[in-house]
Amino acid sequence: METSKVRAFVATERDALLEGMLARLHDLNEIGAALSNEKNIDKLLEIILLAAKKITNADAGTLYLLDSEHQVLTFEILRTDSLNIQMGGTTGKRIPFPPIQMYVDGEPNLAMVVTYSALRGEVINIPDAYVAQGFDFSGTKKFDANTGYHSRSFLTVPMRNHENEIIGVVQLINSIDPASQAVRAFSKDDQQLLESLASQAAIALSNRRLIQQLESLFESFITLINTAIDDKSPYTAGHCVRVPALTMMLAEAASHKQDGSSWPGYEMSEKEKYELKIAAMLHDCGKITTPVHVVDKSTKLETIFDRVHLVATRFEVLKRDAEIVLLRAEIAAAGDTAVLEPARQKFAATVKQMDEDCEFLRWCNLGAERMADTDLERVRQIAKYEWRNELGEITSFLSAEEVENLTIRAGTLTAAEREIINHHIVVTIKLLESLPWPRHLKNVTDLAGAHHERMDGTGYPRGLTREQMSLQARMMCIADIFEALTAKDRPYKEGKMLTDALNILGKFKLNGHIDPDLFDIFVREKVYLTYAQQFLDPSQINEVDESKIPGYAA
């Protein structure tokens, strides 16, 4: 009878032990899944330490990361349940302790448990720190004296990544017996479970760091491309920085709007935000192929240089020819005033007309104001003047190409040059379509390639309508226009005042060019002001009366 009771007791204990081990293994598997899914490094580190404490019933723990460049272990996460201490990770509380030196005076620091574990790659399981030999626990004892804590059992495990490199250390303190709540030594099972967790954690952490490094490298390449584009043209320097910034400001405002219009409760995921950020950064990458003389064309007659000076020289040639005619008349008149006076008056009138026409063409060349029909006709009349060129040939005063440029009604670009500029978006799409985008960035091409589309379908290059465009693409349209209106680094115009830019943007809404709901959010949430305070010259920021902005629904 006694034997059967003993067997039953042993079986019960064995079953309980097995059940406990299975539960801990189940926890370990769940922890492994959580480690694989977590993207935030601080949260990842926190999961690692809390999981280590849970599976070993530890009261306290610290996670250190190895800074191989400076050869130190840095405190990342610190928890002590019985003292209610929570530092590092997502707590926002900085750990005040300085990094632990891996080497002291050039020699390995083997006196500290954590540095010994990191240097030798060994697991250290100490049942009682107060009687242990070979390690310096003076700092621990000082902490205990100040707090009333008693640091007894220690379990220190190095974290190895997939390349067998030590990247950190997990140290647990005081394993608590679930039944008696007394401090006990960490068991062999505790040690094996923590070693398994540390291995999973190290790989998960290394993978996350590698992904972050690849993302950083990818963004650096984008910045490199944008720098090359901006270096080609100082007049657009900063455009590839400002448009993404403004796009994300509008995205944040749209995500948190409360007005219930069109898409109530809209919220962008972190993946969608990152995808939009990358698309905005790449939206003008096609400009890398756009000729510099077109991008930088600040006046109508500019190519490699501004040819208006050549036109001015021709006027001087005409004035010289007129003067020669006058001098010949004076010689022929032999002092006869009655004959000379009409010739002199004609010369004066010719010079006056030449000077006025020259100034007029200089004004036309600037492209700062929209030209009227009468202005265009005057250019054509001036073109009919004749002059003797450098080859001695009598030819028209202005070439057909010069007339085409000087009769541009607004701006400085001809239709052909405008087509060259517009072609950059076709190149952008072509370049981006050639890349093997991962799933979370699969929409980058469509987003970047749609920033010149209009809600009414009159944009380019695909003539998309509002219904055919994603919300993020519509955000970029507004950001690109507003940045262009307010930019001070364009060769053909000054950056507009804040009120003027908003008025023009409001007219774009009324004309069906931009998304009406996004425009209202842009104004209502004062996205324009946040952007202005960060990127515009203070002289451009004037007081805005939102009630007077065309098309704005307050």
Per-residue pLDDT, averaged over 256-276, amounts to 71
Q: What is the pLDDT of residues 320-346, one digit of tens each?
A: 999 999 999 888 888 788 888 988 999
Pull the structure tokens for residue 132: 């242990």
Mean of all residue pLDDT scores within the chain: 88
Q: Work out the number of other CB atoms within 10 angstroms of the CB of residue 285.
A: 21
Return the minimum-mean-pLDDT range out of 215-224, 263-272, 366-375.
263-272
CATH of 26-211, one of 3.40.50.300, 3.30.450.40, 3.30.300.160, 3.50.50.60: 3.30.450.40
Distance of alpha carbon 78 from alpha carbon 46, whole angstroms: 9
The pLDDT score that the predictor gives to residue 6 is 55
Q: What is the pLDDT of residues 458-468, one digit of tens each?
A: 999 999 999 99
CA contacts within 13 A on the Cβ side of 62: 17
Q: What is the pLDDT of residues 79-96, one digit of tens each?
A: 999 999 999 988 889 999
Is residue 67 classed as helix, strand or coil in its secondary structure? strand
What distances in angstroms separate CA 147 from CA 69, 80, 100, 492, one per listed residue? 34, 11, 21, 70
Per-residue pLDDT, averaged over 499-519, amounts to 95
Q: What is the pLDDT of residues 473-500, one digit of tens each?
A: 999 999 999 999 998 866 656 789 999 9
Mean pLDDT is highest, among 217-221, 232-236, 299-303, 476-480, for 476-480
Is residue 174 classed as helix, strand or coil in its secondary structure? strand
Q: What is the pLDDT of residues 99-147, one digit of tens each?
A: 999 999 999 999 999 999 999 999 999 999 999 999 999 999 999 999 9
Per-residue pLDDT, averaged over 347-359, amounts to 95
The whole model's pTM is what? 0.69
- % of the chain beyond a pLDDT of 70: 89
Q: Work out the number of other CB atoms within 10 angstroms of the CB of residue 342.
A: 10
The residue that leads in pLDDT, 297 or 371, is 371
What residues contact residue 73 under an 8 Å CB cut-off, 6+ apart?
Answer: 64, 65, 66, 67, 99, 100, 102, 114, 115, 118, 168, 169
The pLDDT score that the predictor gives to residue 368 is 79
The pLDDT score that the predictor gives to residue 492 is 59
Distance of alpha carbon 144 from alpha carbon 127, whole angstroms: 17
Preceding omega of 461 cis (within 30 degrees of 0): yes
The pLDDT score that the predictor gives to residue 282 is 92
CATH topology for 233-295+417-548 is Hypothetical protein af1432 (1.10.3210)
Pull the structure tokens for residue 199: 């291995």
pLDDT at residue 263 is higher than 60: no
pLDDT at residue 193 is higher than 80: yes
Q: Work out the number of other CB atoms within 10 angstroms of the CB of residue 6.
A: 10
φ, ψ of residue 541 in degrees (nearest 5): -90, 95
The pLDDT score that the predictor gives to residue 14 is 59
- Look up tokens 């001695």; give the residue: 392
| Exposed/middle/buried for residue 53 (C-beta within 10 Å: 0-12, 13-18, 19+) | buried
Distance of alpha carbon 73 from alpha carbon 68, whole angstroms: 9
Q: How far is CA 174 from the centre of its chain?
A: 46
Can you name the residues that pair with 154 across neighbouring β-strands? 126, 173
Mean pLDDT is highest, among 11-20, 196-205, 371-380, 414-423, for 371-380
Q: Work out the number of other CB atoms within 10 angstroms of the CB of residue 213.
A: 10
φ, ψ of residue 58 in degrees (nearest 5): -80, 140
Task: Answer whether 456's CB lies under 8 Å from 468's CB.
Answer: no
- % of the chain beyond a pLDDT of 90: 60
Distance of alpha carbon 220 from alpha carbon 243, whole angstroms: 17
- Look up tokens 């540095």; give the residue: 115
SS3 content of the chain, % helix, strand, coil (to 5): 55, 10, 30
pLDDT at residue 152 is higher than 80: yes
Q: What is the pLDDT of residues 28-65, one digit of tens each?
A: 556 555 556 666 778 888 888 888 899 899 999 999 99
Preceding omega of 550 cis (within 30 degrees of 0): no
The pLDDT score that the predictor gives to residue 260 is 46
pLDDT band at 541 (very low <50, low <70, confident <90, very high): very high
Pull the structure tokens for residue 445: 């091409």
Per-residue pLDDT, averaged over 283-311, amounts to 86
